[in-house]
């Protein structure tokens, strides 16, 4: 992956009310490091082997506070939990580079979602699928998940049509209990509000991120 060539967005780091002034200065220094990492040039890694050193060590080196780590790990890198802190830093650095690269490109937010609402999610999936040479069929019933002689999944069937793939990602309702192995749980809620979300400038659509901790 090439180095992110878009400068770090200083205003983005300084705008959040969640961070102290000292935290913001340290985050700017971290942004400059993240922005300068070239995955093909170890001289830009600041003496870290980012393929083995945990992300926690990168934060500690830059003296990032616990609250700031929550902000960066979940609101910037969009990690779902805190396991990433003990894992190699490279994947989280890539996510943060993507954030920095996207800031200011399509508007004030680096995220396309939820600017155009929930409808933007299937549209984005369809675009990425087409770009990477995939085939997508919207509003299509799945009649059967196909398996080979060894019992390994090989695709799906819809009527007389088949789509073959080495991996099938689906809702548990599409398969049988003997093939389910629960790993984690997702808590969902639908909230009907009679007022705008505070601190969002009365935005009609917004994304709220609650850090795992």
Long-range CB contacts (within 8 A, 24+) of 141-148: 142/170, 142/174, 145/170, 145/174, 145/175
* Mean pLDDT value across the chain: 85
Q: Is the pLDDT reported for residue 3 higher than 50?
A: no
Which CATH homologous superfamily contains domain 10-102? Guanine Nucleotide Dissociation Inhibitor, domain 1 (1.10.405.10)
Strand ranges in 41-185 using DSSP code E only, listed in sequence order: 144-147, 153-158, 161-164
Residue 2 confidence (pLDDT) above 70: no
pLDDT of residue 1: 29
Query: What is the band of 13 on the pLDDT scale with cuts at 50, 70, 90?
Result: low
DSSP β-ladder status, 144-147 and 161-164: unpaired
For residue range 150-176, list pLDDT tens digits in order: 999 999 999 998 999 999 999 888 888
Per-residue pLDDT tens over the stretch 75-134: 899 998 899 999 999 999 999 999 999 887 877 778 877 777 778 888 888 888 899 998
Domain assignments of the chain as residue spans, ordered by start: 10-102, 137-193
Strands in 161-164's sheet, in edge-to-edge order, are 144-147, 153-158, 161-164
Full-model pTM? 0.69
């Amino acid at each position: 992956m090439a180095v992110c060539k878009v400068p770090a967005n200083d205003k983005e780091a300084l705008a959040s009310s969640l961070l102290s002034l000292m935290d913001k200065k340290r985050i700017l220094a971290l942004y400059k490091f993240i922005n300068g990492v070239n995955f093909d040039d170890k001289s830009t890694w600041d003496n870290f082997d980012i393929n083995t050193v945990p992300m926690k060590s990168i934060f500690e080196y830059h003296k990032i506070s616990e609250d700031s780590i929550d902000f960066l790990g979940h609101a910037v890198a969009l990690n779902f939990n805190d396991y990433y802190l003990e894992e190699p830093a490279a994947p989280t650095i890539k996510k943060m580079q993507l954030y920095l690269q996207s800031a200011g490109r399509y508007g004030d937010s680096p995220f396309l979602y939820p600017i155009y609402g929930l409808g933007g999610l299937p549209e984005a999936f369809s675009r990425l699928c087409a770009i990477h040479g995939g085939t997508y069929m919207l509003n299509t019933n799945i009649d059967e998940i196909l398996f080979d002689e060894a019992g390994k999944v090989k695709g799906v069937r819809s009527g007389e049509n088949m789509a073959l793939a080495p991996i099938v990602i689906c809702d548990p309702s599409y398969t049988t209990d003997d093939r389910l192995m629960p790993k984690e749980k997702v808590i969902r809620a639908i909230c009907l509000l009679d007022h705008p979300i505070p601190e969002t400038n009365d935005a009609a659509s917004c994304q709220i991120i609650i850090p795992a901790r």
